[in-house]
């Protein structure tokens, strides 16, 4: 009875887990007993698991991850340092908003990844080219979310602070900053996704190391299990970082019930 209740309470979790294990099992069984696997074209969970074990013990995977992370962190940090101030100024100063908005909106809407080949050729296949690409893709969510955060500040709250004799400094510290922070973190979540695209495309395009390169190389040499390992690791990193941002969002703004379903 208790077990049954436990199941109904966590029904969602259990169904999700069952669905996952069923899929993995079906994948393995079909390729083992029904359709013989063509190793150049497809692979199965047991082979991926073997490759996974092998890879996390090898130095190469860690080296690749370090190389990619380095470029990512450089680009991402610069996106933060440049994007947030630009967005804040756009939110505070109407004329700056008017001047920059059409230009930046057009860039934000564009597939700037199209500049990847040029960036790699100009800045080289190393850290610089990839970091520049990450910066270019990740900077806009920071700009526009910081901007939206300032814009969405409740003017009633500003009047409240003023009515208690608060000064300009108090406005920024007590109203504008707290109400902008959640937006910036939501921007960071978007920026992470875009930044990862920058790293991957950069490394697909031209690289001799890095996780994107590892995936591409595994594909080129028909090492499908290794390729899946790369994809899974990248996926785990992406999910982990996204979740981290979500947690951070709750920490910074616990008063905001998560209005987005996921």
Among 61, 133, 197, 207, binds another protein (CB under 8 A): 197
8 or 57: CB nearest another protein: 8
Any contact of residue 35 with another protein (CB under 8 A)? no
For CA atoms 74, 78, 81, 87, the dihedral sign is negative
Q: How far apart are the C-alpha atoms of 136 and 188, rounded to whole Å?
A: 14
Instruction: Please give the residues from 146 up to 185 whose contact with another protein meets the rule CB under 8 A.
Output: none
- For another protein, which stretch binds (CB under 8 A), given 69-77, 149-157, 173-181, 223-231? 223-231
Indicate the SS3 state at residue 207.
coil
Q: How far apart are the C-alpha atoms of 169 and 176, rounded to whole Å?
A: 10
Among 24, 100, 177, 250, binds another protein (CB under 8 A): 100
Q: How far is CA 118 from CA 56, 107, 149, 206, in A?
A: 34, 16, 33, 11
- For another protein, which stretch binds (CB under 8 A), given 45-53, 80-88, 177-185, 210-218? 210-218
Q: What value, to the nearest 5°, has the Cα angle with vertex 135 and ends 129 and 139?
A: 165
Q: Which position has the token pair 């920058």?
A: 198
Query: Is-contact 222 40, C-beta < 8 A?
Result: yes
DSSP 8-state class, residue 70: H
Terminal CA-to-CA distance of the chain, rounded, Å? 32
Any contact of residue 212 with another protein (CB under 8 A)? yes
CB of 152 to another protein, least distance (A): 12
Among 131, 218, 225, 249, binds another protein (CB under 8 A): 218
Any contact of residue 193 with another protein (CB under 8 A)? yes
Any contact of residue 205 with another protein (CB under 8 A)? yes
Query: Is-contact 202 71, C-beta < 8 A?
Result: yes
CB of 165 to another protein, least distance (A): 33
Indicate the SS3 state at residue 142.
helix
Among 53, 85, 93, 117, binds another protein (CB under 8 A): 117
166 or 219: CB nearest another protein: 219
Per the rule left: phi > 0, alpha: psi between -120 and 50, beta: everything else, 210 is left
Instruction: Please give the residues from 40 up to 79 whose contact with another protein meets the rule CB under 8 A.
Output: 41
For residue 177 the two structure tokens come to 């900053």
CB of 134 to another protein, least distance (A): 12
Chain residues that interact with another protein, rule: CB under 8 A: 9, 11-13, 15-20, 41, 95, 97-103, 106-107, 109-111, 113-118, 120-122, 193, 196-197, 200-201, 204-205, 212, 215-216, 218-220, 222, 224, 227, 230-231, 234-235, 238-239, 242, 260-262
């Amino acid at each position: 009875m208790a077990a049954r209740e436990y199941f109904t309470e966590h029904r969602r979790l259990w169904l999700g887990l069952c669905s996952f294990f069923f899929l993995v099992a079906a994948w393995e069984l079909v390729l083992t007993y029904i359709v013989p696997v063509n190793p150049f074209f497809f692979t199965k969970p047991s082979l991926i698991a073997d490759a996974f074990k092998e890879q996390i013990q090898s130095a190469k995977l860690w080296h690749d991850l370090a190389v990619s992370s380095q470029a990512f962190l450089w680009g991402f940090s610069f996106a933060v340092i440049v994007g947030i101030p630009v967005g804040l100024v756009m939110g505070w100063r109407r004329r700056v908003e008017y001047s920059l908005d059409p230009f930046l909106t057009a860039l934000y809407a564009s597939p700037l990844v199209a500049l990847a080949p040029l960036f790699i050729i100009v800045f080289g296949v190393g850290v610089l080219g990839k970091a520049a690409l990450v910066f270019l893709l990740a900077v806009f969510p920071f700009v526009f979310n910081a901007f939206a955060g300032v814009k969405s500040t409740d003017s009633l709250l500003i009047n409240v602070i003023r009515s208690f004799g608060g000064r300009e400094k108090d406005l920024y510290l007590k109203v504008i900053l707290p109400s902008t922070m959640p937006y910036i973190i939501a921007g960071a979540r978007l920026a992470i996704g875009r930044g990862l695209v920058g790293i991957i495309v950069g490394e697909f395009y031209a690289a001799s190391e890095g996780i994107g390169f590892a995936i591409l190389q595994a594909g080129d040499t028909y090492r499908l299990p290794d390729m899946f390992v790369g994809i899974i690791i990248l996926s785990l990193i992406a999910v982990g970082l996204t979740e981290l941002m979500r947690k951070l969002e709750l920490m910074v703004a616990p008063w905001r019930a998560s209005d987005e379903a996921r």
